[in-house]
């Protein structure tokens, strides 16, 4: 299985901050990397697919970049509704695997 490692595991930030979350794959996954947001008690929602494509309805402050093994999710200006846990997922090979999550908390 391809291992997905996110960093940091958690972070504290203020409204308006620029936030960057990193996801690293244990082998090259081309651009088959997707990002999700999950709020407590809710299902994950898709933010970014194939590394940098913004899912319909997702605010433009969210962006993704990277290819190969290293990927980044950036929130350009953190909003109150963005406090949540974020997961990356690879779909380069079966089984699809997820990172361990990054919890974004209020500073």
Least separation in angstroms between residue 106's CB and other proteins is 19
Residue identified by tokens 């406090």 is 83
The single residue among 7, 8, 50, 106 that binds other proteins, judged by CB under 8 A, is 50
Question: Is residue 1 at the binding interface for other proteins, with CB under 8 A as the rule?
Answer: yes
Question: Is residue 46 at the binding interface for other proteins, with CB under 8 A as the rule?
Answer: yes
Question: Is residue 68 at the binding interface for other proteins, with CB under 8 A as the rule?
Answer: no
Helices (H) and strands (E) in the chain, counts: 0, 11
Question: Is residue 102 at the binding interface for other proteins, with CB under 8 A as the rule?
Answer: no
- Nearest-angstrom CA–CA distance, 7 and 23: 6
Strands (E), 1-107: 4-7, 10-13, 19-25, 33-38, 45-49, 53-54, 62-67, 70-75, 85-90, 97-98, 102-106
Question: Is residue 55 at the binding interface for other proteins, with CB under 8 A as the rule?
Answer: yes
- Binding residues for other proteins (CB under 8 A): 1, 32, 34, 36, 42-46, 49-50, 55, 87, 89, 91, 94-101
């Amino acid at each position: 299985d391809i291992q997905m490692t996110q960093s940091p595991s958690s972070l504290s930030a203020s409204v308006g901050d620029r936030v960057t979350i990193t996801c690293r794959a244990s082998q090259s996954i081309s651009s088959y990397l997707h990002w999700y947001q999950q709020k407590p008690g809710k299902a994950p929602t898709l933010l970014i697919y194939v590394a940098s494509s913004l899912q319909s309805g997702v605010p433009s402050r969210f962006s993704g970049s990277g290819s190969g093994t290293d990927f980044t999710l950036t929130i350009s200006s953190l909003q109150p509704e963005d406090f949540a846990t974020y997961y990356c997922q690879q779909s380069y090979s079966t089984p699809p695997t997820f990172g361990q999550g990054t919890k974004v908390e209020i500073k």
